[in-house]
């Protein structure tokens, strides 16, 4: 065998090993979460509020809080993100759209903790307290550029012939977009929105000083609210084994939510894209 | 790209209309239809709002950092002491911890990411590549705080028992591997970050490699190149995009907060040893923001946030331009 072939075989093996390593790390992490999480999981744990060490307690308020924050974030982030995405896909040809596209992409990479600092100065300081509203605004801001990009990509997949057909029938452009293009792209936009929700459901840093956290059930927007991620963070850094075990169980709940969204999106979109 | 808009239906009266007074409908939408004008203006407003949010972020964070900026000026970034009790605020330990942990992460993650991307695009059968790509992307779906939890209870003990002692034995004469072995420190932070940036770098490199024309591969193969030699041609073609992917990974590593906070040790000291605790810009904001007493303390933390914002914005912008230079014209670019 020539040395060139040896190098070829070597490199092929190496790249395959890299892929294997990546998957192995994933399996290790998910497997460990499942193993540690299951042992502390119970129905009581899912509906209880946190209690002092030794008395059990659960994450019911954190689950509710996370759902509340995600709902708020969706209300803020989805309409804005979809609208901006529609603008970029349907009218986005000039320099202005180029700038919006670039800034939106760049914003995706800005650390979420910076968004937290921004929302702290924008919402928390004037309101003089941490609140669910502030947490929802922070998560919503993080969602916007993500939704904008997926919406634009999905609209671009709609064949031009659909638009031309509708225009040829005499429909004005706004009817073409809302009545023909958006419905055609709706499944794609919905999956993009689900992925955006999955992404912000794991955010912790922007919630530390906006939603803050709470030991009680709370549905009021002007009050601090618990979330799964902040709860995991606090329990992980505590010195108690019992709270560590609860952190793993809460992680299992959070990962289940995220994985279900990711895998179902994958299964739903496998054929089309 | 940049196709002209489909010609608007132009009735003969259009020429007459131009002579008439300025028409708001026509100014907003080329079709001159009321619905179109309103619709287009509303969407334009949303897109504009996205820009305004970024401007507002700079203005808000900047104005809240003004106290600290005017007090310390540029030496803020060079100050070695961070002691809120005595009113000393120097950011150098955080800058150091951020830079070292991020570079360490890239050193570990980039070779592996390149390997995975090459395997996915150039070698694996299509069905396997799809599955693997999905699994690697799932790594990006795991929240930062979960990586932190795993880092504290699995990775840190593992490194303390099985990696750091041998490293110290073999390379202990280097300043990077001296001191007590605790499992909590720069090295653990770097490894966690490496795992977290791998899916992002992989995804972008994969898009870049996929955007390299097939004709390049065919030409190399036709000249008798082996598979690996062909891959080198492809890599050379995608070099600017790969550079962009790496910088994108850097931006992500610099801003990563929770996982690093949980394993890096959170001590504002500068030490050459990778085994020693350190602190990053994002971590100090996460840890001390709610405890900051006094306007100057808070302002100093906000200024750190401003630094982080500026750095990641510039880094991400530059990376994006590099990636676009390669993948422009192909669909589905740069999902990360």
Question: Which of B161, B138, B262 is CA-nearest to residue A31?
Answer: B138
- Rounded average pLDDT over B212-237: 94
Closest residue of A to B55, CA-based?
A: A103
CA closest to B35 among chain A residues: A174
Q: How far is B135 from chain A (nearest CA, A)?
A: 6
Domain boundaries of chain B, sorted by first residue = 20-64, 92-327
Q: Quote the CA–CA distance of B186 and B264 in Å, as a whole number.
A: 6
Q: Dig out the tokens for A262 from the structure.
A: 């990711």
Taking an 8 Å cut-off on Cβ atoms, the answer to whether B36 and A8 are in contact is no
Q: How far apart are CA A92 and CA A84, in angstroms?
A: 10
How large is the average pLDDT for residues B284-305?
A: 92
Whether residues A177 and B39 touch (CB distance < 8 A) is answered with: yes
Query: Tens of pLDDT along A222-234?
Result: 999 999 999 999 9
Given the cut 0.95, state whether the ipTM is greater than it. no
CB B134 within 8 A of CB A266: yes
Q: Do A12 and B228 touch (CB under 8 A)?
A: yes
Q: Which chain A residues contact residue B228 at CB under 8 A?
A: 7-8, 11-12
Contacts A87 to B, Cβ<8 Å: 43-44, 46-47
Tell me the pLDDT band of B333, cut-offs 50, 70 and 90: very low
Which pair of structure tokens corresponds to residue A73?
Answer: 């974030």
Contact pairs from chain A to chain B, CB under 8 Å = 266
Provide mean pLDDT across the span B238-250. 93
Q: Is the pLDDT of residue B15 over 80?
A: no
H/E stretch holding B97: helix B92-118
CB atoms within 10 A of CB B39: 23
Question: How far is residue B117's CA from residue B104's CA, in Å, rounded to a whole number?
Answer: 20
Q: DSSP for B31-66, please give it.
A: T--HHHHHHHHHHHHHHHHHHHHHHHHHHHHHHHTH
| Contact partners, residue B118, CB within 8 Å, separation at least 6 | A15, B209, B231, B235
For residue A121, the chain B residue with the least C-alpha distance is B60
B68: pLDDT strictly greater than 50: yes
Q: What is the per-residue pLDDT for B32?
A: 77
**What's the whole-number average pLDDT of chain B?**
89
Task: Report helix, strand or coil for A50.
Answer: strand
| pLDDT band, residue B20 (cuts 50/70/90) | low
Direct distance between the N- and C-terminal alpha carbons of chain B, in angstroms, rounded to an integer: 22
A198, B141 in Cβ contact below 8 A?
Answer: yes
Distance separating alpha carbons of residues A236 and A256, to the nearest angstrom = 19
CA distance A10 to chain B (A): 9
- Side-chain-side CA neighbours of residue B112 (13 Å): 24
CATH 1.10.3720.10 at B92-327, yes or no: yes
Of B33, B39, B255, the CB nearest to A111: B255
Scanning every residue of chain A, which has its alpha carbon at the shortest distance from the alpha carbon of B133? Answer: A19
> Which member of B36, B57, B135 has the closest CB to residue A118?
B57
Instruction: Please report residues of A whose CB lies closer than 8 A to that of B234.
Output: none
Contact B43 A90 (CB under 8 A): yes
The answer to whether B120 contacts A19, with C-beta atoms less than 8 Å apart, is: yes
Pick from B61, B257, B258: which is nearest to A118 by CB? B61
Is residue A273's pLDDT more than 50? Answer: no
Tell me how close the Cα of B81 comes to any Cα of chain A, in angstroms.
23
Q: Residue A30: its pLDDT value, please? A: 96
pLDDT band at B336 (very low <50, low <70, confident <90, very high): very low
Residue B331 has pLDDT above 60, yes or no: no
């Amino acid at each position: 065998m020539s040395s060139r072939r040896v190098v070829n075989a070597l490199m092929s093996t190496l790249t395959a090993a890299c892929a294997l390593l990546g998957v192995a790390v994933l399996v290790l992490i998910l497997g460990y979460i499942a193993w540690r999480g299951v042992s502390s999981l119970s129905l009581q744990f899912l509906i209880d509020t946190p209690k002092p060490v030794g008395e059990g307690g659960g994450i019911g308020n954190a689950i509710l809080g996370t759902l509340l924050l995600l709902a708020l974030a969706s209300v803020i982030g989805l309409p804005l993100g979809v609208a901006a995405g529609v603008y970029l896909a349907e009218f986005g040809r000039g320099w202005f759209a180029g700038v919006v596209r670039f800034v939106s992409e760049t914003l995706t990479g800005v650390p979420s903790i910076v968004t937290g600092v921004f929302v702290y100065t924008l919402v928390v300081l004037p309101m003089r307290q941490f609140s669910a509203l502030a947490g929802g605004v922070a998560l919503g801001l993080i969602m916007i550029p993500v939704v904008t990009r997926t919406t634009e990509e999905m609209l671009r997949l709609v064949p031009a012939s659909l638009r031309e057909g509708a225009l040829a029938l005499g429909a004005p452009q706004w009817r073409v977009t809302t009545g023909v293009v958006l419905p055609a792209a709706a499944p794609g936009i919905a999956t993009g929105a689900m992925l955006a929700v999955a992404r912000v459901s794991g955010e912790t840093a922007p919630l530390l000083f906006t939603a803050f956290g709470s030991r009680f059930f709370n549905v009021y927007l002007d009050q601090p609210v618990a979330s799964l991620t902040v709860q995991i963070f606090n329990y992980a850094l505590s010195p108690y084994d019992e709270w560590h075990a609860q952190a793993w169980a809460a992680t299992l709940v959070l990962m289940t939510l995220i994985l279900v969204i990711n895998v179902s999106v994958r299964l739903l979109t496998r054929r089309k894209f | 790209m940049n196709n002209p808009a489909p010609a608007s239906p132009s009735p003969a009266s259009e020429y007459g209309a131009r002579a008439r007074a300025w028409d708001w409908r026509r100014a907003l939408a080329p079709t001159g239809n009321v619905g179109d004008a309103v619709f287009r203006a509303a969407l334009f407003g949303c897109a504009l709002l996205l820009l305004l949010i970024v401007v507002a972020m700079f203005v808000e964070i900047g104005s809240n950092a003004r106290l600290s900026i005017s007090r310390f000026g540029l030496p803020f970034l060079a100050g070695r002491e961070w002691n809120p009790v005595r009113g000393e605020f120097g950011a150098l330990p955080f800058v150091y911890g951020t830079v070292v942990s991020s570079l360490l992460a890239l050193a570990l993650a980039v070779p592996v990411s390149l390997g995975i991307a090459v395997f996915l695009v150039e070698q694996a059968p299509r069905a396997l590549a799809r599955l693997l790509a999905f699994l690697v992307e799932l790594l990006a779906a795991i929240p930062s705080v979960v990586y932190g939890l795993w880092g504290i209870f699995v990775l840190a003990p593992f490194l303390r028992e099985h990696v750091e002692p041998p490293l110290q034995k073999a390379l202990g004469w280097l300043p990077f591997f001296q001191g007590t072995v605790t499992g909590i420190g720069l090295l653990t932070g770097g490894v966690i970050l490496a795992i977290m940036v791998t899916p992002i770098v992989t995804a972008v490199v994969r898009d870049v490699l996929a955007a390299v024309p097939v004709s390049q591969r065919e030409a190399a193969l036709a000249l008798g190149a082996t598979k690996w030699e062909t891959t080198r041609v492809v890599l050379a073609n995608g070099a600017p995009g790969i550079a962009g992917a790496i910088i994108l990974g850097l931006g992500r590593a610099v801003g990563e907060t929770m996982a690093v906070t949980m394993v890096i040790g959170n001590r504002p000291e500068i030490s050459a040893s990778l085994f020693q605790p350190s602190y990053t810009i994002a971590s100090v904001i996460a840890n001390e923001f709610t405890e900051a007493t006094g306007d100057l303390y808070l302002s100093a933390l906000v200024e750190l946030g401003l630094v982080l914002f500026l750095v990641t914005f510039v880094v991400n912008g530059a990376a994006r331009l590099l990636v676009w230079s390669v993948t422009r014209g192909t669909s589905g670019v740069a999902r990360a």
